[in-house]
Amino acid sequence: MTTLLVIAKEPRAGRVKTRLTPPFTPEQAAALAEASLTDTLRTVAATPATRRVLVLDGTPGPWLPPGFDVVPQCAGGLDERLAAAFAGCAGPALLIGMDTPQVTPALLDVRLAEDEAVFGPALDGGFWALGLASPAPELPRGVPMSTATTGAVLRARLVAAGLRVRDLPPLRDVDTATDAHAVAREAPGSRFAARLASYAPAAPA
């Protein structure tokens, strides 16, 4: 089976989801981030895995369910932090972030064959999931992050490394208020949707 990695920031006001402010306050944005992280971790906890790891910038809180190892993020850019997360794995690993509370156990239950990679594109041009059959920290290292071409560059690098790339369905990251409402519609029973509904009426479809 696979190690499941979640890379995340502690949901503290002013440190997470700053693009949600406005219309939300920093405290509301942090609460939405906590709900998204909680949904994500609960989904990972419900997915078969050899190990579940939270790669965290900050301190764990009551939102952390049992069954996770917590390791601190290393210094450096996101590419370096992703590389370090994979370097800490001994076998197949799938990494996701905290921004897709609509993710399901079915999407995460991947079995990685030798010389295979799994890639989950994000609608903003990034990616929401990266799976590697064996640790290869050099693959994400040096990829420009948070651009409209990040996903394409990373996927091309997987192909160039000779890996057979299996694509997962594209998902929307929660970055803006528009994203938040769209994701809540996709996961109406989630903690994220409930928290969003407590702050604002539903946005037009």
CATH of the domain at 40: 3.90.550.10
Q: What is the mean pLDDT of residues 10-31?
A: 96
Q: What is the mean pLDDT of residues 109-130?
A: 95
CA angle 93, 99, 101 (to 5 degrees): 90
In a domain, 42, yes or no: yes
In a domain, 40, yes or no: yes
In a domain, 205, yes or no: no
**Pick from 83, 65, 78, 96: which is nearest to 3 by CA?**
96
In a domain, 69, yes or no: yes
Q: If you average pLDDT over every residue of the chain, what do you get?
A: 95
pLDDT confidence band for 32 (50 / 70 / 90) = very high
> Which residues constitute the domain of residue 100?
3-199
Q: What is the pTM of this model?
A: 0.94
User: How many residues make up the chain in this entry?
Assistant: 205
pLDDT confidence band for 137 (50 / 70 / 90) = confident
Q: How many domains does one find in the chain?
A: 1
In a domain, 153, yes or no: yes
In a domain, 117, yes or no: yes
In a domain, 145, yes or no: yes
Q: What is the mean pLDDT of residues 60-66?
A: 96
In a domain, 77, yes or no: yes
Quick one: which H or E segment has residue 129?
Answer: strand 127-132
pLDDT, residue 204, reads 47
